[in-house]
Amino acid sequence: MAQKSLTSRPLDLLYFVFFLIHIPNTILVDCQALYPKQLVPDVIANLPKLYVGMSNDPLIGPAMGYFGAPENYVWFKSFLLLEAFFQLPVFLLGLRGLWNGSKSIYVLLLVYAASTTTTVIPCLAVLLNTPLASADTAAKGIIAVTASQRLLLLSSYVPFLLIPLLMTVDMAFRTLSLLRAGLAAQNKIKTR
Distance of CA 108 to the CA centre of its chain: 15
Q: What is the pLDDT of residues 116-173, one digit of tens each?
A: 999 999 999 999 999 999 999 988 989 999 999 999 999 999 999 999 999 999 999 9
Distances in whole angstroms, Cα of residue 154 to Cα of each of 32, 69, 112:
21, 22, 21
Longest Cα–Cα distance of the chain, Å, equals 79
Please state, in angstroms and rounded to a whole number, the distance separating the CA atoms of residues 147 and 136: 16
**Domain ranges within the chain, ordered by starting residue:** 6-190
| pLDDT one-digit tens code per residue, 2-55 | 689 999 999 999 999 999 999 999 999 999 999 999 999 999 999 999 999 999
Q: Which residues pair with 102 in a beta bridge?
A: none
Q: 40: which DSSP letter?
A: S
